[in-house]
Chain A
Amino acid sequence: MTFNLALDLFPLTAAVLATLTCGLLGNFLVLRRESLMGDAISHAVLPGLVIAFLISSSRSPLLMLAGAAAAGLVTVVLIEAVRKLGKVEPGAAMGVVFSVMFALGVLLIEQAAAQNVELDPDCVLYGQLETLAWFTAPDTLAGLWAWHTVESIPRQVWLLSVMLAVSAAFVVLLYKELRITSFDPGLATSQGVPAGVMHYALMVLVAAATVAAFEAVGSILVIAMLIAPAATARLLTDRLDTQIGLSLVAAVLAAAGGYFGATLVPGAFDLPSVNAAGSMTVVAGVLVVAAAVLSPSHGFVAKLWRRRRLAERTAVDDLIATLYRGGETGYAALPHDTLRTALLGRRLDATLAAARRRGLIDDRAIGVSLTNAGRAAAAELVRRHRLWEQYLVDDAGLAPDHVHPTAEFLEHLPLAPATDATVDPHGQPIPDPDPDKP
């Protein structure tokens, strides 16, 4: 990996700071189902920027920032007003407000262009990381320990540092309040935590973070970073503090991975480097997909695996129960065809293999028979099945010919009704409980 102090230090720092800030705040947006507020705000700051610019006729950063922040706040208030006063669905309210604001911004930019003022909405979308290059950088890392370094830190990096510090302080100091208002605003209000105030405080911070970040990294990356790291983390854990920690890791990974990937990946094909903010967004998206597919607790693969294991266990249960019932009618072993019918279309070979692996059946001779362990396990299943049938007839008042399907489902669960019946509704004996089990 090639790290060029002059070209990479400040852009990378700015990117990491921006993604950390957005990733941190995004945790609460994702939990509150307000992920799209970042999207709305970052579109809607455009007219604020242009108006601030037209008023001051200069690119005074503080004024631009104030204009954008004001537009962001106006957006939040307007969305709330359209939603509450107009009784418009939240998504549509957002769409109406931010698209009108953005259109206003585009129109204002054209007016500015008429006065020979060049404003570029592209930089709002994509950011201008490359302008943060440090042309007077020292040649070595050791040279960084100098006052010169502090003086050279670009405004965007300062701004983003402050923003990160404010956001971190907000989250740390109001962690309890944020948590309770995010999960249960009604409870929070009844406990004396003003959910509305917390909502607006969070929105103000999101607006400020959006504004502080987009000059460096662009609004697309801001939108992505408000959602993707938190979504990644949410797919990996159920605990909020762990989620926040993981989201920060994901944010740094996306920033650094995207930044270097933008140069390295095309470089491998002898192509010039691509848009860094865009590639960070892509890396963030890849992280979400990876978490969605591979997460041990909530991932797609883990879910599929668990479902297959459950299906297999159910099939094995049905197989040995069938063999047990065959034993009751005097057949010590059953042929494959009978078992295939009993398994209701599930794959017999795989089920037999699974049961053999667990030492429940013996199919070395002609037909399939239960081992001792298999017989004990099957007896427990059949016992539960018949206990449930008896319970459903005696206590739930079902007709005897209606209870089999329910019992067939319940027998796979490790619980049985507490009855001392010895015969099921069909006159079959209920096997004794396994003496080895309590």
Chain B
Amino acid sequence: MTPHRHGPASLTAVDDAWPTAAEVADVLLFRAGHNTNVVILGTALLGVAAGIVGVFALLRKRSLVADALSHATLPGLCLAFLVATALGYSGRTLPVLLAGATVSGVLGVLCIQWLVRHTRLYEDAAIGLILSVFFGAGTVLLSIIQTLQTGTAAGLTHFIYGQTAAMSASDAWLMAAIAAIVVALAALLLKEFALVCFNDAFARVDGWPVTVVDLLMMALVVLVTVAGLQAVGLILVVAMLIIPAVAARFWTEKLWALVLLAAIIGGLSGYLGASASALLPRKPAGAVIVLVSGVVFVVSMLGAPRRGIVAAAIRRARLRLGIAADHLLELAYLASAAGRGATVHADDLAGLRRERGWGAAATAVIGAFLHRRGLGRFDAGAFVATPAGLERGRRVARNHRLWEQYLVSSADIAPSHLDWTVDQVEHVLSDPLVAELEEALAERGIDAHRRTRPPVTADNGSRL
């Protein structure tokens, strides 16, 4: 593992001591000295750039190509180090190393494309192959470097796990330049990027230079990946690309909003991650950045209003509750239509519960739901519907029969096969559709309210 990463010199952090509120405020408000500011600002800018680029990588389904790309930089880093050292320069010159990383990373991506295009291997196998073989070649070269000159190789392993604190002012300027390029390109070419991401075949037919746009998007991924190597390391840099984009995807369907949100999430993760790393001892920034964005991802996946899991679960539960209530109200309406009052008696209720598999708790929830809506309530083991509930039950029963008639007369389904599909559809027929069905069936001289089948049994005539 890399040597311990203490906070920058401006912060006299003692091991395992929590920072005071004043220290936290200093770091977050850029008052903690030049070095700390440089690191935090540079990482945040990198996060912004990675977030934006990641959106397009995600939409192009290239998330893991970016992973292979970052792993494939290792042999290039090592070779650049070896060549530079052999020529008598310092092997740790950043531009030289990054140039080597870029070359081998791009080579790796080209290899993936060749394998996918010219062999029968699927893309996932090609990605995994390039990722592991290039990284394996990198470890071989790393072991050569380690035996050649002891000590000088230490700088290279930083690129595997990242070392944010090593960021200099010029590195931060580099990040700023990259972020500016990415923002400018995303703003200028949003339409072109969107077109190629969502429908490249159409874009090609429509005369857009799809290959050029695609290469540009890939070049941005390369740029951000290589820039991120030093900050978060080549194993985790892919997280800076993917996670903000995936998290932002839960909140919006609009591309510009997606890009904006991903940039904010990425920037915030970088800012908080680098700050935490500066404040707390032994908190490698790369890992903290990824974990911060991971938290944002979890929150998004759970809590996003439309695509979030919680929202979806609530919607589903509400739908199921509504359907269950419909069943009960339908039964009440049929009872009242048969002249037995707006009441589902205990034995009919028991039959329904058996048929639908409602336990005591589910029945209670359904009762509470109906009561709150003023549709009916349980009374001494039976269910009594209000007039509003009866009306609702009448509509469900009508939908049921309408759909049955439609299936028999227009979809040629045997009457004995109806129940299952009808049971599902009766709850979701919209009012315009119901009107249309009534009209269509009336035109053919079919009475939508005629019974298709006789009651199943005399004593359980509730289900028509």
Chain A interface residues toward B at CB < 8 A: 30, 33-36, 38-39, 43, 82, 85-89, 91-96, 99-100, 102-104, 106-107, 109-111, 113-114, 119-122, 125-126, 220-221, 223-224, 226-228, 230-231, 234-235, 262, 266, 271-272, 274-275, 277-282, 284-285, 288, 292, 298, 300, 303
Residues of B within 8 A of A (CB): 1, 4-5, 15-16, 58, 61, 63-64, 67, 115, 118-122, 124-125, 127-129, 131-133, 135-140, 142-144, 147, 157, 160-161, 235-236, 238-239, 242-243, 245-246, 249-250, 281-284, 286-291, 294, 297, 301, 307, 309, 312
From A86, A122, A230, B250 is in contact (CB under 8 Å) with: A86
Let me know if A39 and B132 touch, CB within 8 A.
Answer: yes
Partner of A106, one of B4, B128, B136, B287: B287
Residue of A43, A288, A300 contacting most chain B CB atoms (<10 Å): A288
| Docked pose: A106 CA to B160 CA in angstroms | 12
The residue in chain B whose Cβ has the minimal distance to the Cβ of A221 is: B136
Q: Inside 8 A of A230's CB, which chain B residues have their CB?
A: 125
4 additional A-B residue pairs with CB within 8 Å, beyond A86-B250, A224-B129: A82-B301, A86-B301, A86-B307, A227-B128
Kindly list chain B residues whose C-beta atoms are within 8 Å of the C-beta of A275.
139-140, 142-143
Asked whether A231 and B129 contact (CB < 8 A) given A86-B250, A88-B249, A103-B287, the answer is yes
Query: In the bound complex, do residue B128 and residue A39 qualify as a contact, i.e. CB atoms below 8 Å apart?
Result: yes
Question: Smallest distance from the beta carbon of A244 to chain B beta carbons, Å?
Answer: 16
In the complex the two chains form, is B139's CB within 8 Å of A285's CB?
Answer: no
Most buried by A among B1, B132, B245, B297: B132
Contacts of A95 in B (CB 8 A): 63-64, 67, 238-239, 242-243
Asked if residues A89 and B58 are in contact (CB atoms below 8 Å), the reply is yes
Q: Which residues of B contact A224 (CB under 8 A)?
A: 128-129, 132-133, 136
User: Given contacts A103-B290, A285-B133, are A89 and B61 in contact (CB under 8 A)?
Assistant: yes
Residue numbers in A under 8 Å from B61 (CB-CB)? 89, 91-92
CB nearest neighbor in A for B232 = A103
Min Cβ gap A54→B in Å is 14
Do the beta carbons of B128 and A36 come within 8 Å of each other? yes
Query: Whole-angstrom distance between the alpha carbons of A111 and B282 in the complex?
Result: 7
Q: Flag if B144 contacts A220 (CB, 8 Å).
A: no
Asked if A100 contacts B120 (CB within 8 A), the reply is no
Minimal beta-carbon separation of B94 from chain A (angstroms)? 23
B125 near A99 with CB under 8 A, answer no
Q: Is the CB of B118 within 8 A of A110?
A: no
Which chain B residues lie closer than 8 Å to A120 at the CB level? 1
By the criterion CB–CB under 8 Å, are A99 and B242 in contact?
A: yes
In the complex, chain B residues whose CB is within 8 Å of the CB of A99: 235-236, 238-239, 242-243, 290, 294
How far is A300 from B120 in the complex, measured between Cα atoms in Å? 10
Would A121 and B1 count as touching, CB distance under 8 A? yes
By beta carbon, the residue of chain B nearest A110 is B282
CB-based contact A223/B128 at 8 Å = yes
Contacts of B124 in A (CB 8 A): 33-36, 91
Considering the complex of A and B, which 3 residue pairs feature the smallest CB-CB distances, nearest first?
A281-B136, A285-B133, A99-B239
Tell me whether A103 and B129 are in contact (CB under 8 A): no
- Separation in Å of the A399 CB from the closest CB of chain B? 27
The smallest beta-carbon distance between A236 and chain B, in angstroms, is 11
Query: Would you give the shortest CB distance from B139 to chain A, in whole angstroms?
Result: 4
Q: Which residues of A contact B63 (CB under 8 A)?
A: 89, 91-92, 94-95
CB proximity of A119 to chain B, nearest CB, Å: 8
Tell me which residues across on chain A come within 8 A of B301, comparing CB atoms.
82, 85-86
Complex Cα–Cα for A125 and B136 (A): 10
CB-based contact A35/B120 at 8 Å: no
In the bound assembly, the distance between CA atoms of A231 and B147 in angstroms comes to 33
Given the known interface contacts A100-B291, A107-B287, the answer about A277 and B235 at a Cβ–Cβ threshold of 8 Å is: no
**Considering only CB atoms, which chain A residue lies closest to B142 in the complex?**
A275
9 A-B residue contacts at CB 8 Å?
A39-B131, A82-B301, A93-B246, A102-B236, A103-B239, A231-B125, A274-B143, A275-B139, A284-B136
Docked complex Cα distance between A85 and B302 (Å)? 9
Q: How far is the CA of A126 from the CA of B314 in the complex (A)?
A: 47
Chain A's closest residue to B143 (CB) is A275
- Determine whether the beta carbon of B144 is less than 8 Å from that of A274: yes
Nearest residue in B to A88 (C-beta to C-beta)? Answer: B246
Cβ contact within 8 Å between B122 and A30:
yes
- A33→B143 contact, CB < 8 A: no
From residue A187, how far is it (CB to closest CB) to chain B in Å? 19
- Within the assembled complex, what's the spacing in Å between the Cα atoms of A2 and B289? 48
A35 and B1 contact, CB distance less than 8 A: no
A300 in contact with B118 given A89-B58, A99-B290, A274-B144 (CB within 8 Å): yes
CA distance A199 to B128 in the complex (A): 19
- Which of B64, B284, B291 has most A Cβ within 10 Å? B64
Known A82-B301, A85-B309, A113-B282; judge A94-B64 contact (CB<8 A): yes
Which of the listed residues A109, A111, A114, A282 has the most CB atoms from chain B within 10 Å of its own CB?
Answer: A282
Docked pose: A89 CA to B64 CA in angstroms: 11
Contact indicator A234/B246 (Cβ below 8 Å): no
Q: What chain A residues lie within 8 Å of B143 (beta carbons)?
A: 274-275, 278
B1 partner residues in chain A, CB cutoff 8 A: 109-110, 113, 119-122
